[in-house]
Every structure is written in C-alpha cells, then in structure tokens.
Amino acid sequence: MGSMISLAVGRLEVDWGKNNGFVDHSALFQSDDTAQIPYYYAGQEIEGADGAPDWEVITELKEGLSKPLAQVIERINLLGHTHSVCDAEFAALAEFNGFDATTFSFSDLREALASIDVSSLSPNYGEGSEDFGKFFRRQILPRLGLKASGPDPMELGCIAEGMENLSAYTILHLLAENPTARGLNVQWAFNDVEDGGWAKRSDFVKPVDQSSRFLIVTEGSSDAAIIGNGFRLLRPHIADFFDFVDMEEGYPFTGTGNVFRFVQGLISIRVLNNVIVVYDNDAEGAANFERTRQLNLPANLAVIKLPELACFKAFTTVGPNGRHLANINSRAAAIECYLDLPADAAVRWSSYNAKIGAYQGELVGKEKYARAFLDLRARSTAYRFDNIASVLDVIVRTATNMREKLMAETFADLYSGRLESL
C-alpha cells in the first residue's frame, strides 16, 4: 500500500499523497508546531450501523505538524492564495471542466461548505479516508441536485470532477468560514512517509522558502528593530515571513536619501527578492515616499509609508512659540510615535526643510520609548499596542497584495495552458 501523508482539518482531508508523491505544505507551519496528532488506520471489517460492511477505525498518536486554522489562513494569504485567488481558481476550474459558473457559483460552494458539520465526519477508511473529492460527492453534490434551476445531471458530474481538483488552500479558506471548522487545527500527518524513508524530517519542518519571504528595508536600525519586535510580540505565527537587513556591523541605509538610492540600485540589478521599503510618516519620509513611487518599480518591490493615524492629528508639539496641538502626520511621526506613549509625550520641531516646504519634527525622548518596547519579551495587557499593530497591518497587507497578483496569474496560466493543449 505504501506510506500515506495527509493535510486535514479535523477528519476532513484537504490533500493527501503517497510515498514521495506529495505537495510541500511546510510553509503553513513553523518549527514549534510539531505535536502529537491523530493518525487513522483501517482495522478489522465490522458490521456498520445500516448492516453494510464497515471497518474499525484505529487511532494512533504520532508526530506531525498542527496549527490553528485561522493562523494557517494568514500564512496562506502571505503565500498569495487570497480569497480573490480562490475565486479565480474556481473560475478557471469551471472553464476547464466545462460547467456553468453561474449555475454553480463560487458563492454556492462557499454556502454549502459553511453549512456542513465538519466535526461530525466519520470517514470510511475502507475506501481510503474522507478526502475532499469524496466529501464533495457525498455531502455537497446531492444538495446541488435539489437546488431549483440547478445543474443538470451531466453538469453535476463536471462539477464533481472540477471540485476534486480544487486546491487545498482554497478549501481551507472556505472552511475558515464554517463555524464547526473555525476552531479546529490544520494537521499535516507526515510521520508514515518519514518513517518509510521517503523523505526526511527537514523536508517537513523547515523555514519558509526565500521566494516566499519579504525583506523589510527601513530608514534606520531603530525602525527595523521595532517592527521586528512587533511581529514577534503580536504576529508570531507569521513573523518568519519577514527578514530585516543585517544590523550586526552597522545599519547601511540610515536616512531617506540613502534608502531612495538603495531602491534605485535594487531596480538596476533586477533583484529577485520580495522587498518592502518602509518610510517614516514625517516630512522627509513623505517626500521620499512620493519620489520613490515615481520610479518604475518591479512587481516584487513595494514602497509604503507608516500609516497616518487619527491620534496624530492633534498631537502635542513644542516649538519657538511654545506648546501647541498640531497634526504630525507626514511631518513628524517616526516609528517611535507608534509606541505606547504617556499623555505628556511631545514632538519638538527641529528645522524647516526648504526643499520639501515643511517643518521636520522629532519625538522628545524617543530612545527611551524605543528601549521600553524592545525590552518587552511577551505581550502585556498593560502596554497599548494599537498603533504599532496598525504598522504591521500595512506591511502584511502590502506583502499579501504583492504575492496575490502572481498567484492569480499562475492559476490562469495553468488552466489556460491545459485548455490550449486539448
């Protein structure tokens, strides 16, 4: 029979393989996701509840990878497989398998999957387990046939064939909307393939491939350190997707002008890495952000500015005329302003930049606030993370958008190529 490997939510397999023929799902997990998970095997033949032959299910706990479905979805999004890509994949499958996507739409599939009680599945291991193809034919296809003005019997067969080829990541996206599946873990049962000598542990537990990671370039070492610690504290389940410039021997890109020139250099050498350049939300950062956006940026290079926040519209500032409330968005909001600041925190106006036509300001005591944040080793309810979380959200959204377009094009090319070859 060989050694089997499966990716499952509860008892519903969304992908499976055998021996050395399997899809690499290692990017869905991190090294600390290794756990004892259930493996299901067929035992002796028994009489089923309806009198028909059935098989005893033997459950054994072995090592595998396990992660909450909600966290896996965030990792899938960073791989570029977003809801939009799921929709595009469905449309490509409809065209390739010859069924009408208006008769059976992606929304129909979403609604059908949302109404199934995934936790109550009892797989028939005499037939190889409850994979998604079998699940679709048993649980969802009969409902489609009862739908008014639904697909005819011949089209139902085309739909079933198409759904058997639906990718595991689209299935996981849809299951995340199911109340009975939302709280379950995604589990990758690889132990039998490993023990069978078909693959090594390092084939399953390994870092995310470089092609799927993102290099974050900031204006200074403080920015990189703060953003990096933000991911470790608030988004540890996706932190390994993001790399930062090595600062061991001095940060090489201090200042907005140097960052701009660095971006020009990356473009000229046609860098292959996914790069996200982050400018401060201050006068110089805003000016260089706009200047960088005018460059002919490749698809794997994105430029963003720290987000403008409502709380910065009336921030205490200190200048020649004393203390006043002022809008520091695009004028003086460097990364330290996004930390947990006391009520008396203030920005001091330092100089007028004639080149950009705006005053530049700096947070008073910014080093103290940065040290306090970098000293945090765990998330604390006593610390306000809202502002720094907004920075992480912008970075994650930008990274997702970068990969989404590539993934959508991949599915379109895959099925259009198959159609052309027929």
> Any idea of the CA torsion for 305, 306, 309, 315, to the nearest 10 degrees?
-110
pLDDT, residue 251, reads 57
Kindly give, in sequence order, each residue whose CB lies less than 8 Å from that of residue 324, ignoring residues fewer than 6 positions away: 316, 317
The C-alpha atoms of residue 48 and residue 56 are separated, in whole angstroms, by: 9
pLDDT in tens, 105-154: 899 889 888 888 877 765 554 444 556 777 787 777 776 654 545 566 66
The verdict on pTM exceeding 0.85 is yes
CA-based radius of gyration for the chain? 26
Instruction: With residue 142 as reference, give the H or E element that holds it.
Output: helix 141-145
Instruction: With residue 18 as reference, give the H or E element that holds it.
Output: strand 12-18
pLDDT, residue 130, reads 53
The C-alpha atoms of residue 58 and residue 65 are separated, in whole angstroms, by: 20
E strands, 283-388, are: 301-305, 315-319, 322-326, 332-333, 347-353, 358-363
Structure tokens at 253: 């890109």
pLDDT in tens, 152-178: 666 777 887 888 888 999 999 999 999
Burial of 74 (0-12, 13-18, 19+ CB in 10 A): middle
Q: What is the pLDDT along the chain (422 residues), one digit of tens a residue?
A: 689 999 999 888 889 899 999 999 999 999 999 999 999 887 777 776 667 777 778 889 999 999 999 999 999 999 999 999 999 889 888 888 888 888 888 998 898 888 888 777 655 544 445 567 777 877 777 766 545 455 666 677 788 788 888 899 999 999 999 998 989 999 999 999 999 999 999 999 999 999 999 999 998 889 999 999 999 999 999 999 999 975 445 656 666 568 888 888 888 888 888 999 999 999 999 999 999 999 999 989 999 999 999 999 999 999 988 999 999 999 999 999 999 999 999 999 988 777 777 888 999 999 999 999 999 999 999 999 999 999 999 999 999 999 998 887 776 666 554 444 43
